[in-house]
């Protein structure tokens, strides 16, 4: 069944929503009267299509089309999810929501990307207030998983529950904000840091680059994987948060920050900040900065994924959900994935160690297929690799989609031999091969032994099928 998302407003946030939905298999319709909207959305989609698949070992869903339409009614007709991302003007949002509700399905999710307005403010004068909620994302929407999902007392509980489910299905984290509040949660925290940063620049204490360095070389790294309170709990040592509060709580009375004051927003302050920002990164174009940001985010998120921590745990769980069981075919397609940016070396192509990882991943998929899975290992049995021979036949670059086919070339008793071929999906070229020899072992004795009957039978069946297909 085709699932349709309508994006109303194709700016940076709207385009990010469109890319996220399309890459997760939804058909997307975008309405934006800006004559450059289609070009801008295409550029964002190009960025998103390059990096989002790098987060996953699983193949991505079949990509949905993004279509720019000429009327709002055409965009929302039959849509299951409608995301309003027009500029932050209440009167404009009210007009757009009224036009949406005149045409859209009554049970569709109607969400606003607003960072400041409460849902009750958006619901004022609406035909169906219960349909409207806030779903506030973070840029880039196609990589960052957080969505602040904010209902009001008038919001329909069933629609809110469906919104949570859909956001989870497309790999995002719906943070259900249980009470309406201006600017929700995350932006209030960001505004506090932003306001203090403006004072530091205005008063000549630090430049824009020095403030950015203070964040990215220090507490920003901790926040990325532990947040605020967990970071401070660790700072409390063995005694935990209570000790931290006892030690540092009194400093809250000290006049360190100026969060209750707002610096006067003068032309001089604007010029000071803009000039420093230009000196810091003005030599890079916006697309260069976006690409650098996205590559860094992929590397950070993949590191967190490897540890099963924070946002990485979310991606890991979503990755598992996207994977399906292997089909019993000759040869088996054991890997379908995009090469991530952190797999490349100084020469710009995939590091040789990663070839070993790809072929190891392929053999693990085969192990699961024959029943030598985690439960089998937990019961005390496994296959150990005794020998591999890898041949590197062509360069493999970040962003390329690769597949690995695997054949069982020998599968008698305790011995198992596999032949892997890694292909470039775009043209089918063979990039590398691997001849892998494995022995079945007892994890209790750490010595070779025959596999259990159901695994032995599966191996022999595959070996016969793959021999017949040659």
DSSP per-residue string spanning 245-261? HHHHGGGGGS----TT-
Which CATH code, of 3.30.450.40, 1.10.1040.10, 3.40.50.300, 3.30.70.141, is assigned to 187-283?
1.10.1040.10
**Does residue 381 sit in helix, strand or coil?**
strand
Distances (CA, A) of 393 to 113, 309, 326, 434: 47, 36, 26, 11
pLDDT given at position 258? 80
- Nearest alpha-carbon partner for 344 in 397, 385, 306, 386: 397
pLDDT given at position 237? 85
**In the chain, what are the domain boundaries?**
4-184, 187-283, 325-469
CA gap 61, 306 in Å, rounded: 22
Q: Do domains 4-184 and 187-283 have the same CATH topology?
A: no
Backbone angles phi, psi at 30, to 5 degrees: -120, 135
Fold of 325-469: Thiol Ester Dehydrase; Chain A (3.10.129)
pLDDT in tens, the chain (470 residues): 899 999 999 999 999 999 999 999 999 999 999 999 999 999 999 999 999 999 999 999 999 999 999 999 999 999 999 999 999 999 999 999 999 999 999 999 999 999 999 999 999 999 999 999 999 999 999 999 999 999 999 999 999 999 999 999 999 999 999 999 999 999 999 999 999 999 999 999 999 999 999 999 999 988 998 898 988 888 888 888 888 778 877 777 777 788 778 888 889 988 998 999 999 999 988 889 999 999 999 999 999 999 999 999 999 999 999 988 888 888 999 999 999 999 999 988 999 999 999 999 999 999 999 999 989 999 999 999 999 999 999 999 999 999 999 999 999 999 999 999 999 999 999 999 999 999 999 999 999 999 999 999 999 999 999 999 88
CA gap 9, 84 in Å, rounded: 7
CATH number of the structural domain 4-184: 3.40.50.720
pLDDT given at position 238? 86
Give the distance from CA 152 to its chain's centroid. Answer: 28
Backbone angles phi, psi at 24, to 5 degrees: -100, 15
- Nearest alpha-carbon partner for 365 in 417, 310, 327: 327
Q: Which residue stretches of 24-143 are H helix?
A: 37-51, 72-76, 90-101, 119-123
379-418 as b/e: b if 16+ CB within 10 A:
eebbbeeeebebeeeeebebebebbbbbbbbebeeeebbb
């Amino acid at each position: 069944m085709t699932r349709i998302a309508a994006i109303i407003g194709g700016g940076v946030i709207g385009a990010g929503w469109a890319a996220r939905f399309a890459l997760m298999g939804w058909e997307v319709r975008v309405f934006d009267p800006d004559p450059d909207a289609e070009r801008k959305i295409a550029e964002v989609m190009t960025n998103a299509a390059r990096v989002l698949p790098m987060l996953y070992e699983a193949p991505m869903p079949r990509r949905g089309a993004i279509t720019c339409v000429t009327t709002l009614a055409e965009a929302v007709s039959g849509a299951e999810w409608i995301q309003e991302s027009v500029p932050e003007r209440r009167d404009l949002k009210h007009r757009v929501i009224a036009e949406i509700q005149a045409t859209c399905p009554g049970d569709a999710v109607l969400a606003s990307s607003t960072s400041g307005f409460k849902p009750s403010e958006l619901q004022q004068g609406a035909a169906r207030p219960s349909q409207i909620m806030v779903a506030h994302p973070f840029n880039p929407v196609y990589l960052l998983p957080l969505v602040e999902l904010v209902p009001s007392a008038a919001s329909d509980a069933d629609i809110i529950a469906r919104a949570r489910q859909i956001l989870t299905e497309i790999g995002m984290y719906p943070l259900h904000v249980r009470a309406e509040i201006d600017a929700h949660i995350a932006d209030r925290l960001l505004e506090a840091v932003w306001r203090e940063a403006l004072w530091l620049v205005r008063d000549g204490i630090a430049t824009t680059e020095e403030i950015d360095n203070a964040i990215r070389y220090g507490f920003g790294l901790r926040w990325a994987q532990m947040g605020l309170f967990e970071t401070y709990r660790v700072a409390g040592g063995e005694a935990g948060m209570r000790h931290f509060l006892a030690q540092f709580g009194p400093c809250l009375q000290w006049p360190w920050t100026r969060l209750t004051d707002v610096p006067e927003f003068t032309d001089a302050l604007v010029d000071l900040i803009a000039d420093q920002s230009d000196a810091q990164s003005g030599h890079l174009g916006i697309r260069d900065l976006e690409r650098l940001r996205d590559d860094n985010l992929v590397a950070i998120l993949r590191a967190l994924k490897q540890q099963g921590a924070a946002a990485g745990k979310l991606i890991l769980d979503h990755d598992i959900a996207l994977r399906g069981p292997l089909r019993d075919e000759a040869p088996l397609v054991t890997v379908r994935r995009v090469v991530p940016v952190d797999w490349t070396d100084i020469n710009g192509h995939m590091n040789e160690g990663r070839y070993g990882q790809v072929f190891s991943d392929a053999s693990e998929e085969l192990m699961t297929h024959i029943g030598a899975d985690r439960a089998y290992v937990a019961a005390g049995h496994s296959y150990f690799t005794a020998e591999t021979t890898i041949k590197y036949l062509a360069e493999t670059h970040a962003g390329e989609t690769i597949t690995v086919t695997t054949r069982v070339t020998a599968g008698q008793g305790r011995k198992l031999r596999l032949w892997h071929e890694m292909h470039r999906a775009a043209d089918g070229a063979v990039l590398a091969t691997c001849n892998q020899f494995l022995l079945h072992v007892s994890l209790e004795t750490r010595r070779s032994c025959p596999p259990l009957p159901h695994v032995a039978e599966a191996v022999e069946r595959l070996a016969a099928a793959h021999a017949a297909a040659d």
